């Protein structure tokens, strides 16, 4: 008998610094990929600090293991 819900494999999370070309200011974004490498979700905005970025990722399912 097959399970009713699909199996949800863990996502691979990436925290990406982005430097603004003109000002040099660094902002952060996060991305989550499936085990097959498909982009599953990403942050909707850029963050001033890595801590803010990680907190937003945690609200979207990120768990540090």
- Is there a domain that residue 6 lies in? no
For 52, counting Cβ atoms within 10 Å of its Cβ (0-12 exposed, 13-18 middle, 19+ buried), the class is: middle
- Is there a domain that residue 17 lies in? yes
- Cα–Cα distance, 43 to 10 (Å, whole number): 17
Half-sphere exposure of 11 (CA within 13 A, CB side): 19
Res 8: pLDDT? 57
- Is there a domain that residue 18 lies in? yes
- Is there a domain that residue 38 lies in? yes
- Is there a domain that residue 44 lies in? yes
Number of domains in the chain: 1
Tens digits of per-residue pLDDT, 10-65?
Answer: 789 999 999 999 999 999 999 999 989 999 999 999 999 999 999 999 999 998 76
Task: Give the CA-trace dihedral at 34, 15, 46, 31, to 10 degrees.
Answer: 0
- Is there a domain that residue 28 lies in? yes
**Tokens 């990403």 sit on residue:** 42
Sign of CA dihedral 54, 58, 62, 65: positive
Per the structure, the complete domain to which residue 32 belongs is given by 12-50
- Is there a domain that residue 42 lies in? yes
């Amino acid at each position: 008998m097959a399970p009713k819900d699909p199996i949800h494999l863990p996502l691979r999370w990436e925290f990406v610094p982005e430097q603004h070309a003109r000002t040099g200011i660094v902002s952060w974004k996060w991305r989550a990929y499936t085990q097959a490498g498909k982009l599953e979700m990403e942050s909707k905005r850029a963050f001033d600090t890595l801590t803010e970025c990680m907190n937003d990722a945690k609200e979207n399912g990120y768990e540090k293991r």
